[in-house]
Amino acid sequence: MKALIGILVLAAIALAALFTMSSSTALAIAPEVKIVGQSTPVAVQITNPHGVRKVNAYIEQNGTRMPLLEQSAPSHRVFLRRNQPAQTVKFDAGKIKAAGLKEGDARIVVEAVSDDFRGRTDSASANVKVVLAPPRVTPDDAQHYINQGGMELAVMTPGGSWNEAGVKVGKYSFRSFALPGHPEQRFAMFAYPWDLPDNVTPMVFARNAAGTEATAQFWFKLFPKKFRVRDFPIDDALISKLVNQIDPGGTLAPGPDMLSRFLKINGEMRRQNNQQLADLRFKTEEKILWNGPFLHWGKEESMFADVRNYIYKGKKVDQQVHLGFDLSDTMNAPVHVANDGRVVWANDLGIYGNCVVVDHGYALQSIYGHLNRIDVKVGDMVKKNQSLGVAGATGMAGGVHVHFSMQIDGVQVNPMEWWDEHWIHDRIMSKLDPNAVKSVRPVEVSSAPKAKRRRR
């Protein structure tokens, strides 16, 4: 009898230990889901040191629970697993999986059963809005002539359920703005970027809050461009000069030698700086700030989208693309803004040195690099031909010049088009009022802009 009691006591102790060692499960729906459409991906992070043996997901609406996921695995009630890594469970929520789902409020529920003796059920939930009505979009019927590396303007009419519209060109997306005088229509200024092949078809799009997208093609003709490829010799003296101008303390681009530090600046920092420029697209006025053609100053030393092969001691060590024009200048000569606008950046910017960025409205911006001194600040309104500062050779500059570039919605484009008053009228201004478009003929950028030049 005593032996039986002892066995029962040991069994009770073992069961109590197993129960005590059992643990709860942490669940987190990440990224957060707020809108569910026809098919919306959901990811759930699940953490339990013993793992889980069952995961179920549902969407609840008006008292009805509709299954989204049922997943199970062999259980380990006695021989517990330890130190199990967190796992991510993915499933789709939406009308396709839950046919009874309707527009309105709903709730996603995820339940997990711990893989231990207790088998505790824990859950996570998210309140969501169901959006099922699809978007629609109709393009304009204008003719669109586009220079590769340049830009255009398209008008679209979105409909149905939508909250975002614009133009897509390959991997690039350009947002739209309300068309002045026509609130039911939108327009987008967009680029055909230099780095895309010549067989990409631009499309207008409209997207609803659930991510459902409608697209439509419009008439266009592309003028392909072949961009220059040039060798760019570098030696120890130039490398040392440029590296020490940008990172004298060796903290931004550390490396075992000057060449490796130069390559890090020329590559990694260049990409970071270009992303910083692209992010400035959100600092824009939803109106036209520019006035007429953009001014052109200085002699063109480097062209837009020049491909540079960096040659060191007879060998190619790097290749980068120069997105802009290098316009020659003299030290401390004034740097004039090309058109009216608002200053959105006036500070050091890595390879661009002392840099000023001016917003001209509707995500059109101009960029001025390598200044010796900046005389404006963020928020200043500037007028065409006003001085932004004085020319210099800061950043990745071997000599005194102004790096001038333009970007539309964060994508840098060939500024030559904006020096041409005829191009601006035909390709941009006439389309801001669709009723004013009477005839449109192709305008291909020539090697020399039509705007009047002045050399310093």
- Give percent above pLDDT 70 in the chain: 89
Q: What is the DSSP letter of 337?
A: P
The three-class DSSP label of residue 151 is strand
Confidence of residue 21 (pLDDT cuts 50, 70, 90): low
What is the Cα–Cα distance from 1 to 6, expressed in whole angstroms?
A: 9
The pLDDT assigned to 412 comes to: 97
Tens digits of per-residue pLDDT, 419-436? 999 999 999 999 886 444
What is the Cα–Cα distance from 241 to 228, expressed in whole angstroms?
A: 26
The pLDDT assigned to 128 comes to: 96
Cβ–Cβ < 8 Å for 253, 271: no
Cβ–Cβ < 8 Å for 415, 445: no
pLDDT averaged over the chain?
89
**Average pLDDT for 406-429:** 96
Alpha helices in 77-196 (DSSP H): none
The pLDDT assigned to 81 comes to: 86
Longest alpha-carbon distance in the chain: 111
Tens digits of per-residue pLDDT, 136-154? 999 999 999 999 999 999 9
The pLDDT assigned to 8 comes to: 57
Q: Do domains 23-130 and 229-414 have the same CATH topology?
A: no
Q: Give per-residue burial for 48-69: e unless 16+ CB within 10 Å, then b.
A: bbbbbbbbbbbbbbeeeeeebb
The pLDDT assigned to 448 comes to: 35
Between residues 20 and 268, which one has the greater pLDDT?
268
Quick check: 18 pLDDT over 80? no
Which CATH entry fits the domain spanning 229-414: 1.20.1070.10, 2.70.70.10, 1.20.120.530, 3.40.50.10470? 2.70.70.10
Closest by CA position to 186, among listed 196, 178, 194: 178
Output the pTM of the full model. Answer: 0.82
405: tokens are 């570039």
Residues 6 or more apart from 411 whose CB is under 8 A from it?
172, 174, 191, 193, 278
What is the Cα–Cα distance from 214 to 41, expressed in whole angstroms?
A: 19
The pLDDT assigned to 297 comes to: 82
Quick check: 302 pLDDT over 90? no
Tens digits of per-residue pLDDT, 186-216? 999 999 999 999 999 999 999 999 999 999 9
Q: Which region among 75-84, 122-131, 302-311 has the lowest average model confidence (pLDDT)?
A: 75-84
Residues 6 or more apart from 29 whose CB is under 8 A from it?
42, 43, 44, 45, 108, 110, 124, 126
Fold classification of 134-226+420-451 (topology level):
Immunoglobulin-like (2.60.40)
CATH superfamily of 23-130: Immunoglobulins (2.60.40.10)
User: What's the N-to-C CA distance of the chain in angstroms?
Assistant: 110
The pLDDT assigned to 437 comes to: 40
Q: What is the DSSP letter of 116?
A: S
Q: In the chain, what are the domain boundaries?
A: 23-130, 134-226+420-451, 229-414
Residue 3 backbone phi and psi in degrees, to 5:
-65, -40
Tens digits of per-residue pLDDT, 216-246? 999 999 999 999 999 999 999 999 999 999 9
Quick check: 443 pLDDT over 70? no
Tens digits of per-residue pLDDT, 321-357? 999 998 886 778 999 999 999 999 999 999 999 999 9
Tens digits of per-residue pLDDT, 151-178? 999 999 999 999 999 999 999 999 999 9
Quick check: 403 pLDDT over 90? yes
Confidence of residue 449 (pLDDT cuts 50, 70, 90): very low
Cβ–Cβ < 8 Å for 125, 74: no
Cβ–Cβ < 8 Å for 253, 383: no
Distance from the Cα of residue 342 to its chain's centroid: 22
